[in-house]
Chains A and B, each alone.
Chain A
Amino acid sequence: MIKRLEFKKIISSPIILGLFVLFLLFNCFLIYEQSSIRNDMKSLQPIVKETGTLMDDEGSKKLQISHEEDLNTWNQLAESKTGDTYQNASDFYKPELYYSLIESKIYSEKELQDINELAIKETYLNSIQDIETKYSTLNVMENAEEGIRLFGLKGAAAEKVREQYTVLKPRVEELIQNKEHLHLFFHGKMFGTHSFLFKTLFGFMLFQAMILIVLFTAFIVNYEFEHRTALVTYATKRGRRLMWDKLLVSTFASTLVTVALLAITLSVYFIVFDYSGMWNVPISTGFLIELNKIPFISWWNVTFIQYLFMSCGLVVICQILFVLITFCLSMLIRNSYIVFTLFGVIFLAGLYIPSLMPKDSTMLLYTHFSPFILVMNVKKWWMESGVFTTFKYYEILTVTGWLIVLLLTAWLLIKRFARENI
């Protein structure tokens, strides 16, 4: 009952609702801005239907044959129209020919569409070789060394990093063995879907949810003090245990807000961008590699859909951490806007602290186990993620560690509050 009433305090505030809607609109706008690539992305599905996602020898052969057939068809058409034939589809786009072809309107819209799809197919086909070479020569230890040199790590810190990459090594072998890297997926260099989805969208959603959550948590914890009802409420039967209710309700509301934000935004995303047939592609596939050429090496063999849900789950848990941080702050400071500002300060401090650590101390690595650094890097969750955070259980350790510490702190603060003079 009391929980429901506390919950109502959050829901009935127009600003929370207003911001929530505003954030959703903004996310839709982001998706809309990106939506120009949706048609090109769509040309992957017919390919997958034809050949399956796995591009091992057999799969790539199929793709190659299919590509040759299509190219032949195209060349027949091209020959009849202009007398040209093409070695490969990308030749069609050579600037010296392309513009005159377009201007003379020799090809119909539909035909241009076909050659475009063919060119895309060709890109996928050509990538297979690159990916195979890349993974067969991939040496994560070298990556580790490069990172160590780049960030100037020394001594124990450098050793620890090497240790972690040694753990990663067999996983890379396993990945190659499983042929996880050879599954067709939206081409990272062309579309950058992973970055858009897991960096841009998830990044924004994390911050949006965080803003809402810090706002209402700070608000309801100190609601009684700001409304001068503290004396009445804390003298009732429920009394100061009301704080537990408030904590519980904030947690519940944060989960609700986060899930709603994720669900709605992602629904829009997947309606705009068709992922059918792609859900079960391993997230470590080489096709995802983007312009920076860094491969995605997940610690476990997970599919895209699994990865998506794992990440959503982690977002929800991160928000619970933020609830707890805000809750603890609010128990110490009774002014909600100062709590809000302090939260921001703590967030920045969390990002800053690692840079204070000596370059040869493992503390440098352990200070990266914070939710603030965690949420800055959604794109690389559950994966090899650079020298500082490549630990097999980095995400899990970070959130459980903080969860325990924060719960304890919250518990202590509630205890303290029980004896506090109001």
Chain B
Amino acid sequence: MRILFNEVRKLFSVKIIFLLLLVSFFVYQQFIMFEFKHFPNGRPLLDDFRATQKMLVDYGESMDSEEFQDFKEIKEQRIAEATEYLKSQKEMVAAGIDTYEEFSNMDLENVKLAALHSKIVFEDYVDVFWEIQARDWIIDRYEHPERFNEHELTQEQNARMDELVESGATEAIFTDMVFENYNVLMKYVAILIFLNIMIILMPLYIRDKRNHVQLLQYTSKTGRKLFSQKLLTGLTASLIIITAQLAFFFFMYRGNDTSMFFPLSINSIFNFFVSWYDLTFFQYIILTVLCVYLLGIALVLVGAWISSIAPNYMTSVGLHVPLAFLLFGTGTTYLVQNLTTIYLNPYLVPISFAIILVLSSLLFLWRYRREKVKNI
């Protein structure tokens, strides 16, 4: 335990912590903050979000047909409001646009009318017009859930789609905006975490090997067991990092104010994502977190292996380059994002994880057994 503690402390030197903070700061600034600051990103997404939030308050977790009628009625009210607004605008009345009906059928090829249209929508940002548009979209989605089947699907996929419609999961008031936003964020957070792990694990073995401290370590009572202790060190260090980063991330994510979506099914028609499983948003979040941990562990195994075989830092960094490329690209796309999506084989993710973890463990194990009988 004390050895582990000592080794972990060696990894978290002041210099390295400072470096990690710097990297995290810039990655946050460059890639992540945007998704916080601009959520929902512009209009009409903002209006869509507001309408959805109101739906949640009014109807609870899902919208049945009765509630849907109510929703449509609200839209009619809004149209009335819009008409009133138009009537109050002299130029609009002058142009003969004094109902919402006329407004939505305006001839936008006509330069003069187009200018009036964009004045209301883009310059004055009159909320009600945006809201109607957002509500239109929601109504359209609700009335045409069959759009799910646009893609060419296999029998299983079709069956799953039907099952979802039947079970009512599709009626959940869950919006793709929240889902997309979370997915993008999680991808960057995962990349940042992996980057951190790579940085901190780089010296794990190389340092003591190049330093000749290894001679003392291997002749001490602990001896070559230290090799596996160091793996444990790597795992501990990265678990600390993953947990700290995720904690910070979710603290920031609270600002996006999406907690009311947690208990809702992600298979809603308002979300473009379809899962093989009946997951709520919260369960999906847990799943992504789990996957980040698992990938992190696999990365520790591979990173430790690299650190133990690389003769110098250049080689070590060099070997990390293709690894980063795979992990940040393909890795996060399939193993952090799009989890359980119906468009991929349901076994892809678990099998991939099994293979990755087994292979990386074998790689490390092989190295460990050689280390035991190695001439130093």
Contacts and interface: CB of A to CB of B under 8 A. Distances in A.
Indicate yes or no for A touching B, C-beta below 8 A: yes
Interface of A: 13-16, 18-19, 22, 211, 215-216, 218-219, 226, 335-338, 340-342, 344-345, 348-349, 351-352, 355
B26 A348 contact: yes
B152 to A, nearest CB: 15
B316 interface: yes
B203 A345 contact: no
A218 B26 contact: no
Contacts of B15: 338
- Most B CB atoms within 10 A — which of A22, A226, A337? A337
Nearest to A335: B313
A16 B321 CA distance: 11
B29 interface: yes
Nearest to A220: B314
Nearest to A349: B26
B26 A345 contact: yes
Contacts of B29: 348, 352, 355
Contacts of B312: 219, 226, 336
- Most A CB atoms within 10 A — which of B15, B317, B319? B317
Interface string B258-300: 0000000000000000000000000000000000000000000
B126 to A, nearest CB: 20
A172 to B, nearest CB: 24
Given A226-B312, A348-B27, A352-B30, A341 B19 contact: yes
Contacts of A338: 15, 19
Contact of A337 (B22, B316, B322): B316
Given A341-B23, A344-B23, A345-B19, A218 B314 contact: yes
B310 to A, nearest CB: 8
Nearest to A337: B313
Contacts of A352: 26, 29-30
B318 A336 contact: no
Contacts of A16: 314, 318
B210 interface: yes
Contacts of A344: 23
Given A16-B318, A19-B321, A336 B313 contact: yes
Given A218-B314, A219-B314, A348-B26, A341 B319 contact: no
20 contacts: A13-B314, A15-B319, A19-B322, A219-B313, A226-B210, A336-B312, A336-B313, A336-B314, A336-B317, A337-B313, A337-B317, A340-B313, A341-B23, A341-B199, A345-B26, A348-B26, A348-B27, A348-B30, A352-B26, A352-B30
B102 to A, nearest CB: 29
A229 to B, nearest CB: 13
Given A22-B322, A211-B321, A216 B26 contact: no
A348 B24 CA distance: 11
B222 interface: no
Interface string B188-212: 0000000000010011000000100
- Most B CB atoms within 10 A — which of A219, A341, A351, A352? A341
A14 B316 CA distance: 12
Contacts of A335: 313
B235 to A, nearest CB: 20
A374 B114 CA distance: 38
Nearest to A340: B317
B23 A345 contact: yes
B33 to A, nearest CB: 10
Nearest to A217: B314
Nearest to B312: A226
A16 B317 CA distance: 11
